[in-house]
Amino acid sequence: MDSIPMLVFCFISFLIVRTATPTDTINTAQFIRDGDTIVSAGGTYELGFFSPGKSKSRYLGIWYGKISVQTAVWVANRETPLNDSSGVVRLTNQGLLVLLNRSGSIIWSSNTSTPARNPVAQLLDSGNLVVKEEGDNNMENSLWQSFDYPGNTLIPGMKVGRNIKTGMDWYVTSWKSPDDPSRGNITGILVPEGYPELLLLEDSKPKHRAGPWNGLQFSGMPQVKPNPVYIFEFVYNDKEIYYTEQLHNSSRHWRVVLPQSGDIQHILWIEQTQSWLLYETANTDNCETYALCGANGICSINNSPVCNCLKGFEPKVPRDWDKTDWSSGCVRKTALNCSRDGFRKLRGVKMPETRKSWFNRSMDLEECKNTCLKNCSCTAYTNLDIRDGGSGCLLWFNDLIDMRTFVQNEQDIFIRMDASELAPPTPTLFGVFAFHHRRSPFITGVCTPLIRCLYNSSLSILACIGKVFTCCLHQEHKRLPVACATNNFSVSNKLGEGGFGPVYKGTLTDGREIAVKRLSKNSRQGLDEFKNEVKHIVKLQHRNLVRLLGCCIERDEKMLVYELLPNKSLDFYIFDETRSLLLDWPKRYNIINGIARGLLYLHQDSRLRIIHRDLKTSNVLLDYEMNPKISDFGLARSFGENETEANTNKVAGTYGYISPEYANYGLYSLKSDVFSFGVLVLEIVSGYKNRGFHHPDHHLNLIGHAWILFKQGRPLELAAGSKVETPYLSEVLRSIHVGLLCVQENPEDRPNMSYVVLMLGNEDELPHPKQPGFFTERDLVEASYSSRQSKPPSANVCSVSVLEAR
């Protein structure tokens, strides 16, 4: 390497005589100063100096060259920022890229180890900055490349994994903040021990595990599945192990970001809106917490509590489990005998941690089983690859760590058990049934048609529902097991009551607590709404949606059985002067974000595109940790892939939350839910109801009041009653701003929920909201009145005959 004095001399010389820089390449006679950039051949990426967020420090980085929002994808000197604009980048004769400060000192350099003859540095259209010999276009011969040193972002072609021959690891690390690209405490790596799998670390401790690759996907990341945007691949050969993604359409802009929260984000640039779209998010619920349930425990996000022991196991320290501390895990009820052991088959789960596993690619499943049986230390086995009927063998030799239920995962795992633990249970018949995967341990008794349905892969669950409805309607039962669970619907077990009827707390025979919605004979929710709720919610699985466990129809009785949400509904807190004190701003912001993620799942990520149509505070339930779960899907409607809106002659919803186009014309779409969400946000921030809001200075509702304060530059006054602490004021302002964007009068102006989630999660500048809809009480009264009057039909508008007030 050049000596420092020579480097300073060269630096000064280049300031005097500067050679013209080619578009995408520099050589040893050229350099880049702050304010200059080089651009890849197609203009896709640009390299130069920038300041992230609100920072005034200068960094050498790569960003997108063709989009309006400067978005960095790689930073060179992330740990050593420049304090001024004096930075200069040059390429040495040895092939080293160096970044010099005002005094000529090197503050960052590439670490090329191979000597160069005639090096050049080139920014490729893939976003990769490479140092290579001039004229050599074989990237495998490059002397150095930025793709080997990711920051917090992966772009198509980047890898997370290991080069087996060189020992180089490719990994990502979060930024400390949007203003500071230095290394945060979240790292994404590939663990090469045992059978390799991806792991997320927080302060060097496991935070989230992707699960082993099964030939189609990672068993713990079902959201990473074939889709129209990107192709994903896991490569494991004698040279390297890595995971990578590529776009179907290379002209699009796509990035995978590891934020400081640890919630991995897949983000797509939308040209039409000139904005980033949050396409999907990993690590979406508490069951993603590494080893939450300890050894031999299994996490089920829809159960309460979420942790249980695997069948045949029991808590190691029961008193800890009683306190919801599951870290001690579970132990076998019956010790293994080795000579008389068998296997219990389990499906629909995330495979256990594989760091202490063994695998063989050529074995079939029977050979795998026999290999496990011959080794008394082997605790479980499965196929390595589930494609084409299955192949390969994966064995575990220790406790089974970090398992959770995943209905979407069709991989079987066979868990070693003593023969005495494998006797099949005898089922009984009654009219209650549960909706889980086909061999769910929760199905303790069902109607006979349901048994046939669940074990017949040619029938969908919805087809089964119709059969079971008929079965349950005609069976004779002296007393429903649901009645047993609720102490015969005792008043002391009653949780509350709505227009649909009462809700009771119940306890199943296995100790699990449930909530039973018993539809009264005078309920506004009839059989159609009842079936509609079952049809929609049975297919949904998300931490921010309430989980339907079962249902029952017996003569005039119609009941829905849910997971118990002990902290009741959101309106129980935010509109009560005393109980609202239990919701500080971090809890409120968590609730806002949770509702947003739940809606995003309904609108975009679920198997059905679902419009809720009755989103309101009373339909947001709170779990033990005050996390929100959207409930009541009686009015929900599903859309096909190409549908964007529909109309109805019966507008059903709740005053104060219904969007203008729905109330006035019966038109509903995803943007109808967005409007309701905006109202919810303003109510959560302020602690006031939208409908019935009163202010001495005007006759507007809460939406109108928020709009006036925003226009006058006084939006924080909306949260005056919430006593928000100073560190959270920016989140309050952002929430109010997003809420007003959601309640804009024109549905086309409202953001979709993916953009809402993105806006809530970063500090980018937000668009200015336009006039909201329904910002006076009179708006609602007129809509209610007009919806009952006949309207002339048109090609795009239906007449609205009924508006159900709630």
Residues labelled catalytic: 614
CA distance 60 to 99: 8
Helix axes 729-742, 753-761, angle to 10 degrees: 160
Question: What number of other Cβ atoms are within 10 A of residue 552's Cβ?
Answer: 23
First and final C-alpha spacing in the chain: 77
CA distance 358 to 352: 13
Cβ partners under 8 Å of residue 22, min gap 6: 30, 38
Q: What are phi and psi of 603, to 5 degrees?
A: -75, -30
- The CA-atom distances, in angstroms, between 37 and each of 56, 126, 191, 269 are 19, 17, 37, 22
Which strand (E) or helix (H) includes residue 169? strand 169-170
Cβ partners under 8 Å of residue 72, min gap 6: 50, 52, 59, 61, 62, 63, 153, 181
Question: What number of other Cβ atoms are within 10 A of residue 388's Cβ?
Answer: 7
- Residues in the chain, total: 806
Reference 635, options 535, 555, 541, 501; nearest CA is 535
Long-range contacts of 244-253 (CB under 8 A, 24+ apart): 244/156, 244/157, 244/158, 244/159, 244/160, 245/154, 245/156, 246/156, 246/157, 247/156, 250/156, 253/44, 253/64, 253/66, 253/67
CA dihedral 368, 373, 374, 375 (to 10 degrees): 90
Which strand (E) or helix (H) includes residue 242? strand 240-247
- The CA-atom distances, in angstroms, between 394 and each of 256, 353, 563 are 29, 11, 35
Coil, helix or strand at residue 459: coil
What one-letter code names the amino acid at 637? R
E strands along 633-729, which residues? 637-639, 645-647, 650-652, 667-669
The DSSP call for residue 740 is: H
Pick left, alpha or beta for residue 95 (phi over 0 → left; psi -120 to 50 → alpha; otherwise beta).
left
Residue 235 CA to its chain's centroid (Å): 25
- Side-chain-side CA neighbours of 566 within 13 Å: the count stands at 9
Cβ partners under 8 Å of residue 598, min gap 6: 542, 544, 545, 628, 629, 630
CA distance 519 to 393: 50
Q: What are phi and psi of 749, to 5 degrees?
A: -80, -20
Place of tokens 């007009």: 786
CA distance 561 to 533: 12
CA dihedral 291, 292, 295, 296 (to 10 degrees): -110
What one-letter code names the amino acid at 218? F
